[in-house]
Structure formats: C-alpha cells, structure tokens
C-alpha cells in the first residue's frame, strides 16, 4: 500500500476539485467530495439546479438530468479520488476509459442533490476501476462501473 492511499482524505472542496480535474463549467459535475476513505471509496455530491444549460433542451417542459451526465459525475468523482490518492510526483491528468453495467432507475430533476457513491474494485499501475451508485434522498437513481487512467501532465512541464 502506498503512503498516499494510507492517508484518508477528509473532503475535497471545489478548489481542490478544480486542481484535480481538467473539467470546468459547464462540464464540472461534482461540487464536493465527502467521506473519503483513502483511495478505496468516497461520496461526491452534485447539486442539480434549474439554470444548468442541459435543461434548456432536456426537456423544456419537464427538465430531467441526462443519464450520460450522471455517469460523467460518477467518473469525475472517481477520477478526483484517483488523482488525490496517487503517489506524489509529476502532476497527473485523469482520463475516463470505460463504462459497464449502467442502469438508470429514477429521473433526476432540478432541486435534487445527487450523491455519487464510488467504491474501488481494482487498481493496476495507472488504471483504476470503480463501482458507482448515484442516490437522491437515499434512493438509487443510477449505477455503473467506470474506469479511469492517470497519465503524466506534460502540458504542465512535468
């Protein structure tokens, strides 16, 4: 077990998320990460608001969060966990690699607070695999398995 994985992360606020992930508005889909357990598991949250751009067209009369954005929120939560748990050294960039077994259970609408519960299934070298369950008010709205890859960020001169 590496040193970084042994040290639990308390929370990852928006400032740390911006340093960990390449995403920016309107595509940063995680507001905060809470309840981290090293690189083993965490919960990311997304506060869904009506003024987000996807609701202009999905759907104007009955706004529903697109399922693909729920999956992306899971991937971003897992990606931030990987980057923050990685061994110190060169800055890392995280790439979403795979999605498996995605299931959508209930619509997510403006006003909901989505919790992305991510649990590490495996890790080998620079690849990470996570099981994700998205919940709103304790009810499962989406689940999937995602993987990510960390690579050196040569753009930052590392």
Q: Which domains does the chain have, with CATH numbers?
A: 3-156 (3.10.129.10)
Residues classed as catalytic: 58
Q: How far apart are the first and last CA of the chain?
A: 24
This prediction has a pTM of: 0.89
pLDDT in tens, 105-118: 999 999 999 999 99
> Above 80 in pLDDT, residue 152?
yes
In contact, 62 and 56? CB cutoff 8 Å? no
Q: What is the mean pLDDT of residues 67-93?
A: 85
- Going by C-alpha positions, the residue among 62, 70, 77, 64 that lies closest to residue 30 is 77
């Amino acid at each position: 077990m590496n040193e970084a994985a042994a040290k639990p992360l308390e929370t990852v606020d928006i400032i740390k998320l911006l340093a960990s992930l390449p995403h920016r508005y309107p595509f940063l889909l995680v507001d905060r990460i809470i309840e981290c357990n090293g690189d083993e598991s965490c919960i990311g949250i997304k506060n869904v608001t009506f003024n987000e751009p996807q609701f202009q067209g999905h759907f104007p009369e009955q706004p529903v969060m697109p399922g693909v954005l729920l999956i992306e929120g899971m991937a971003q939560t897992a990606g931030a966990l990987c980057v923050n748990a990685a061994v110190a050294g060169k800055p890392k960039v995280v790439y979403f690699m795979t999605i498996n077994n995605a299931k959508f259970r209930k619509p997510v609408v403006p006003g909901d607070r989505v919790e992305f519960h991510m649990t590490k299934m495996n890790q080998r070298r620079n690849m990470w695999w996570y099981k994700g369950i998205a919940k709103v008010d304790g009810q499962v709205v989406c689940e999937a398995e995602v993987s990510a890859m960390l690579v050196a960020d040569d753009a930052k001169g590392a």
